[in-house]
Structure 1
């Protein structure tokens, strides 16, 4: 994987974004093909993952996270000089991209299906605004479902940490919340949720614009 040599070479976190974008492009086009639906989804994913990386970088800096709460990252940094913080950021972004990719492709497909269905009915074409509004009805339900998936995913991954917190019930809650182990999990969940919720309107809007750049206004757009 292209990210691993860069991490071993000590590349900065933000310097990994082009490589991450390349991996994402290969994944999207390999699975969904070279078409306008994939173009819109990929552009939305690149925009949202860039914003997410910036947000996570700010959180890491503000909270002075080291990434050393993970045993594997500690060994990698001590043995190979890999940045534990970089491993943490890249790992969070890759995890978030799974949910984001699913939502982005679903939204671009919804826009395409709505337009094709309208054309098959020989009705006036939907405007961009109408396409966006109707596809967002699907997107809201899908996003709500993915929120549940992400919360369960991170809860499962954090289960040992939650058990340790429960066992050390004598420790004040504010001390436990301020521990790096818990904060890294909360930051990862927050980033995943924000990025996933952002990709819904962004991918829908890009699909409506890219698939139908010359669509005239229709009565349904009011």
Structure 2
């Protein structure tokens, strides 16, 4: 039964975080006026499909899928942490359980954001190398769409991860304590 509750909490935390991340991605992409045409592949796809593909939507989908890869890990871990902490101390209060789980979650956030940044940097390594000895000022370089895409991906992904921990921890804490409370009534 605990496995089902942990799984449902992780799913809920992932979905809520993913919805927020999707809204942020849409806002960041639209406010920064990214078109999605930063890569040759996007231009090729647009030509091959005769303009029937929404390239900006494809950019958004790529951001969301990229974040989902790390969101599921962090929400599953946070859910498991809360239920494990609850199992070790049965009479724990909401605030104490939430705080203890968040202390662990902060460390997890740091490692996952670092992982996300390294993954994006690794994928964009050839691009980054092009700009090492570039004579243009930094303020100009960050406004190139190909660079702005990576900045938006990293920012949105990091914000989504940072939000996933307190969201999932809150849900898990509430369920862990509620489930225990309901079980003691029967």
Q: Which residue of 2 aligns with 1:49?
A: 18
Deviation sequence 1:125-155 (CA, Å, 0-9, x none): 1122211111111101111111211111111
Give yes or no for contact 1:56–1:89 (8 Å, CA) kept in 2.
yes
Q: Deviations over 1:90-134 (max 9, x none)?
A: 111111111111111111101111111224xxxxx1122211111
Cα distance in 2 for partners of 1:65, 1:155 equals 19
Distance 1:151 1:192 in 2: 9
Equivalent residue number for residue 64 of structure 2 = 93
- Higher relative contact order (Cα pairs below 8 Å, separated by 6+ residues): 2
| Offset, 1:214 | 6.2
Q: Distance in 2 between matches of 1:84 and 1:78?
A: 11
Distance in 2 separating the partners of 1:73 and 1:46: 28
Query: Where does residue 142 of structure 1 map in the other structure?
Result: 108
Q: Quick check: 1:129 aligned with 2:83?
A: no
Q: For the residues of structure 1 that align with 2:53 and 2:153, how far apart are their CA atoms?
A: 20
Unaligned runs of 5+ in 1: 1-32, 120-124, 217-222
Partner SS for 2:88: helix
Measured against aligned partners, the alpha-carbon deviations of 1:149-195 in whole angstroms (never above 9, x if no partner) come to: 1111111111111111124x222222211100000000000011000
SS at 2:61 equivalent: helix
**Structure 2 unpaired stretches of 5+:** 182-186
Change (3 A) 1:40 1:214: closer
2:173 and 2:76 mapped to 1: Cα distance?
A: 13
Tell me the number of residue pairs that the alignment of Structure 1 and Structure 2 aligns.
178
Provide closer, same or farther for how the CA distance between residues 46 and 63 of structure 1 changes in structure 2, counting only shifts above 3 A: same
Partners of 1:109 and 1:183 in 2: CA distance? 36
Q: What is the alpha-carbon distance in structure 2 between the residues aligned to residue 109 and residue 34 of structure 1? A: 9
The equivalent residue for 1:160 is 126
SS in 2 for 1:89: helix
Q: Note if 1:202 corresponds to 2:171.
A: no
CA RMSD across the alignment: 1.7
C-alpha distance after superposition, 1:31-55 (max 9, x if no partner): xx97111111111111111111111
> SS at the partner of 1:166?
coil
Q: CA deviation at 1:212?
A: 2.0
